Structure 1
Amino acid sequence: MGLLSVAAGALNTVLADQWREYFYCDSLSENVLMTKGLPRKAKNNQNTKGSDNLISNGSVVAVNEGQCMIIVDNGAIVEVSAEPGQYVYDSSTEPSIFYGGLGKGIVDSFNQWKKRVGFGGDTATDQRVYYFNTKDIMGNKYGTQNPIPFRLIDKNINLDVEFGVRCHGEYSYRLIDPILFYKKVCGNVTEEFTRDRIDSQLKSELLTALQPAFADISAKGIRYSELPAHADDIAAALNQHLTETWGKNYGVEIAAFGLSSATISEADAEKIQTLQLNASLRDPGMAGATLAAAQAQAMKDAANNQSAGPMMAFAGLNMANMAGGMNTGNLYNMAAQQQQMAQQAQPQMQQPGAPVAGVVAGGPAEAPKMQAGRWTCECGSENNGNFCTNCGKPKPQPKNWFCPQCGIENTGNFCTNCGTKKP
C-alpha cells in the first residue's frame, strides 16, 4: 500500500512539474545585493502545485538592466547572464512535454517518475535562480575616528612634514564578480542577502586602505586642503589597495568616493604655517619685506607708547635694529645681486651680425670661470662667500671688458681667446 501511494504521489509531482515557468525579478533596491528568483504567478495561472526549487526544461528567465542572473543546479553554477533580455533554459534535467517534442518528453518524464519513486516521491534535485544587484550601492557613510597620517611634501621650499588628517564623507561600491560574491559571501540563501550584512566589514577595510591611499596622493605633492578636489584620484588609489581584499575576496570595487571635509589639528596647522613662513624667508627679498613690515609695525607701536615716551621708544627701536646685524637695505641688495647673477647665467641676446660671446671660428670656447678666493670687505672683514658675514654687503664683482678683435668677454689684462691687450 505504501509503495502504491509513493508511486501515485510521484506521478502527481511529475505531472505538476511539466509546466514551463517564467522567472522574473523586479528592480532590486539599494539595500538588496542578491535575491532568489521565483516563478511569476499570475491570477489565472494554473501552475500552483509545482515543486519548489525546480526549473522545468524550456522555462524562461528574464534579466533586467542592473541585474545579473545565475542558475544553480544541485549546488553547481551552470548558467550566468548579465545581459538584459529573456533566456530559455533548455539544459534542465527536469523534462517537460511542452518543450523538446511530445514523444521525447513522455519518455523522459517516465524515467523521471521512476527516479522519484526510488526517493520516496521526492524530486531528489535542487535548482535555483538568483538575481544580483549590479547597480552602484550608494550612501555608505564613513568617518575617521583617529587621525590618518598624511605626509606633506613641498619641493619648492624643501618642506617634508607628517601630520594627522581627519576626514569623513560617503562612498559607493558595485558588484563586479557575482560568481565570486556567491561563492565566498552569500551562498545559497533562501530569500535575499542585504547590504547590512557586509557593510561594516567593507567600511573597516576601506578605512584601513585610506592610509596607503593618502600616501600615494601626498607623493604627488597634493596638499591636504586639496583632497576634496582629488576624490577620483583617491578612489583609484583605494581600488588599487583594495584589490587584494575587496576584489579577490568579495568581487566588489569602489564605484565613487566622496570627501566632505579633511581637517587637521590646530597645532599641526600652526606648525605647517610656521615652517612655510620660515622657508619663504630664505629669499632675501621676502626676508627684507618681512623685516620692513615688522619695523613699520614697531614704529607704530613706539609712537603709541605713552608710558616710556616716544623718544625712548624710538631709541630702543634703533638699538634693536643695530643688534640684529642686518637691515632691509642689505637684504634687498642681496636679492638684487642674486637676480643679477641669475640673469648673467642666462644666454645673452645678441644683435644680428654682432659677435657671439664664447664662440670662435673653430667652434665654441669655454666660458670664463670665476675664481673663488678670499676678499676683504669695506668694513674690514675677510670673507669666502658672495656676501660679507659682518655687514651683508655683496662681493665686489670684477669689471669685465670685451675684446675689440673677437668680441670675447674677459676679466684680465689680455684676451683669453686671441691675446689682444685690454684697451
Structure 2
Amino acid sequence: MGLFSFIKGQFIEVIEWNENTDSLVYHFPAYDHAIKMGAQLTVREGQAAVFLNEGVVADVFGPGRYELHTQNLPVLTALKSWKYDFNSPFKADVYFMNTTIQTDQKWGTTNPVMMRDKEFGVVRARGFGNYSFKIKDPALFMREILGAQQSFHPEQLGGFFKTMIVSGISDLLAESAIPVIDLAMHYDELSARAAAKIGPNFEAMGLALAGFVIENISLPEEVERMIDRKSSMQIAGNLDQYMKYQTAESIREAANNPGGGLAGAGAGLGAGMAMGQMIQGMMNNPGQPSQPSGDAGETATKKEPAGDVSCSQCGHLLKPEDKFCGECGAARPQRRFCQECGDQLAAEAKFCSSCGTKV
C-alpha cells in the first residue's frame, strides 16, 4: 500500500476539491506533499487554492483551470530556485478554501446589556440576530486563523464573533441614545451602523462581513409592564371614552349573567357612570379632594372660619390670608374638625372633646 501511494504521488495529474462538506477548508492529500510539474489544477467558483512551501504561503489561485508550470507558480518557483521547466515532482501543501457566503450565523447576548434611558433610567436589554461572512483574503485567513489545521468549520469562530458583536452592539446602543421604546423603529439603521463598526475586525482576519441583522432587542418584564401601564393611563386619559367603555362592559357582563337581569344591568351602568364622573371631577379639580356623599361629608368638609389664628410657634396673630407666620416663618396651623359632630379639634387632640369620636 505504501509503494502504491508513493507511485501515485509521483503522477498526480488533477488537483481539485469536489467533496460536499460544510468545512471552509480542504487539505489536498498529496503523498509526501509531492505534486508533479504539469499537473492540472481545477478551482471551481466559490473556491480558492492556496499553495504552501515549507509552511509559508507561496501562491493563491482563483477559479479556473491551470497547468502547473514555473510561469504560473512564480513565488513557489523563486523559493525553490527553479531555473528550468522540468517534469519532476515538487513538494507543496495545497489548501482549497470555500469563498462562498456563510449565511444564518447566529449571535445573541448571554448576559443583559446595561443601558441608560432618559425615561426609565438604567435598564437591562437583551438582543439577538444573525450575520453572514465569507473568506475574502485566503492568504491572510491562512496566516491569521487556519494555521496548520486540516479543516475548519464556521462554528469554530462563533464564540469569538459573538463576543465581538455583543461588545460592538453595546457601544452602539450607548452612543445612539435612542429611547428604549423607540428601538424597534431603528433596527435597520442600527444594523447598518453595527456592520460598519465591526466590519474592520472581520477584514483583519481575511474575512468580509457580508450581512448583519438585529432581529430583536428585548427589555426585562418589569420594564415592559411599566410601558403597558403607561399606555393604559394614556388611553384612559380620554374620560368620555372611558365612561362609554365602562358602560359597554357593564351591559356585556349583565347580558352574560342571566340571574342579574335588569337590576344587574342598572347597577353596572350606575357604577360605570359614577366612576367616570368621579374621575372627571378629579381631573377638573386636581387640587380639591373628592366629596363623599351624606351628612358625614358635609361635616367633614366644613370650611375654616375666617377669624384670626395665632401662630403655634410664637403666638403671633395671623390674618386670614397669611399662610406663614410673619415673625418666625412657621406654617399656618391647620384646623381640624370632627368627622362625627363637626366641632373643631385641638391640634394635639386624639379624641373629639364633644362626642368622644377617635380622630
**Range into which the TM-score falls when normalised by the shorter chain:** 0.5 to 0.7
Choose from 18, 21, 34 the match for 1:26: 18
- Residues 306 and 238 (structure 1), Cα distance of their counterparts in 2 relative to 1, 3 Å cut: same
In the TM superposition, residue 57 of structure 1 has moved relative to its aligned partner by 3.2
- Residues 165 and 68 (structure 1), Cα distance of their counterparts in 2 relative to 1, 3 Å cut: same
* Partner Cα separation in structure 1 for residue 144 and residue 227 of structure 2: 46
What amino acid does structure 1 have at the position aligned with 2:222? A
Contact 2:242 2:276 in 1 (8 A): no
Match of 1:205 in 2: 164
* Partner Cα separation in structure 2 for residue 151 and residue 246 of structure 1: 29
Q: Does 1:145 align with 2:115?
A: no
* Partner Cα separation in structure 2 for residue 304 and residue 23 of structure 1: 89
Contact 2:10 2:34 in 1 (8 A): no
Tell me the number of residue pairs that the alignment of Structure 1 and Structure 2 aligns.
263
* Partner Cα separation in structure 1 for residue 20 and residue 179 of structure 2: 40
In the TM superposition, residue 79 of structure 1 has moved relative to its aligned partner by 0.9
Contact 1:28 1:133 in 2 (8 A): no
* Partner Cα separation in structure 2 for residue 323 and residue 196 of structure 1: 62
Match of 2:62 in 1: 82
- Residues 64 and 306 (structure 1), Cα distance of their counterparts in 2 relative to 1, 3 Å cut: same
What amino acid does structure 2 have at the position aligned with 1:208? S
In the TM superposition, residue 136 of structure 1 has moved relative to its aligned partner by 1.8
3-state SS of paired residue (1:198):
helix
In the TM superposition, residue 132 of structure 1 has moved relative to its aligned partner by 0.9
TM-score by length of 2: 0.55
What amino acid does structure 2 have at the position aligned with 1:25? W
In the TM superposition, what whole-angstrom CA distance separates every residue of 1:30-66 from its partner, at most 9, and x where no partner exists? 3x11121245xxxxxxxxxxx6113343333221111
* Partner Cα separation in structure 2 for residue 235 and residue 322 of structure 1: 49
- Residues 268 and 85 (structure 1), Cα distance of their counterparts in 2 relative to 1, 3 Å cut: farther
Match of 1:356 in 2: none
Match of 2:140 in 1: 180
* Partner Cα separation in structure 1 for residue 169 and residue 54 of structure 2: 41
User: What aligned pairs does 1:300-339 form with structure 2 within 5 A after superposition?
Assistant: 321-325=280-284
Contact 2:103 2:132 in 1 (8 A): yes
In the TM superposition, residue 137 of structure 1 has moved relative to its aligned partner by 2.0
* Partner Cα separation in structure 1 for residue 114 and residue 13 of structure 2: 57
- Residues 237 and 126 (structure 1), Cα distance of their counterparts in 2 relative to 1, 3 Å cut: farther
Choose from 212, 216, 222 the match for 1:267: 222
Match of 2:239 in 1: 291
Contact 2:116 2:122 in 1 (8 A): yes
* Partner Cα separation in structure 2 for residue 316 and residue 224 of structure 1: 37
Contact 1:238 1:254 in 2 (8 A): no
3-state SS of paired residue (1:194):
coil
User: What aligned pairs does 1:241-252 form with structure 2 within 5 A after superposition?
Assistant: 241-248=197-204, 250-252=205-207
In the TM superposition, residue 71 of structure 1 has moved relative to its aligned partner by 1.1
* Partner Cα separation in structure 1 for residue 174 and residue 109 of structure 2: 16
What amino acid does structure 1 have at the position aligned with 2:151? E
Q: Does 1:195 align with 2:161?
A: no
In the TM superposition, residue 130 of structure 1 has moved relative to its aligned partner by 1.0
* Partner Cα separation in structure 1 for residue 217 and residue 180 of structure 2: 16
In the TM superposition, residue 212 of structure 1 has moved relative to its aligned partner by 3.1
Match of 2:50 in 1: 70
- Residues 262 and 79 (structure 1), Cα distance of their counterparts in 2 relative to 1, 3 Å cut: same
Q: Does 1:253 align with 2:239?
A: no
Contact 2:247 2:268 in 1 (8 A): no
Q: Does 1:136 align with 2:128?
A: no
What amino acid does structure 2 have at the position aligned with 1:146? N
3-state SS of paired residue (2:100):
coil
Contact 2:16 2:41 in 1 (8 A): yes
In the TM superposition, residue 131 of structure 1 has moved relative to its aligned partner by 0.9
* Partner Cα separation in structure 2 for residue 220 and residue 307 of structure 1: 44
3-state SS of paired residue (1:223):
helix
Please give the root-mean-square deviation of Cα atoms over the aligned residues, in Å: 4.7
* Partner Cα separation in structure 2 for residue 18 and residue 145 of structure 1: 53
* More divergent stretch after superposition (161-170 vs 51-60): 161-170
* Partner Cα separation in structure 2 for residue 313 and residue 203 of structure 1: 54
Gaps of 5+ in 2: 1-5, 251-262, 287-359
What amino acid does structure 2 have at the position aligned with 1:173? F
What amino acid does structure 2 have at the position aligned with 1:293? Q
Match of 2:324 in 1: none
TM-score by length of 1: 0.48
* Partner Cα separation in structure 1 for residue 207 and residue 214 of structure 2: 20
What amino acid does structure 2 have at the position aligned with 1:205? M
What amino acid does structure 2 have at the position aligned with 1:137? Q
Contact 1:37 1:128 in 2 (8 A): yes
Gaps of 5+ in 1: 1-12, 40-50, 110-122, 154-158, 328-423
In the TM superposition, residue 182 of structure 1 has moved relative to its aligned partner by 0.8
* Partner Cα separation in structure 2 for residue 304 and residue 273 of structure 1: 31
Match of 2:195 in 1: 239
Contact 2:243 2:272 in 1 (8 A): no
What amino acid does structure 2 have at the position aligned with 1:270? R
- Residues 147 and 87 (structure 1), Cα distance of their counterparts in 2 relative to 1, 3 Å cut: farther
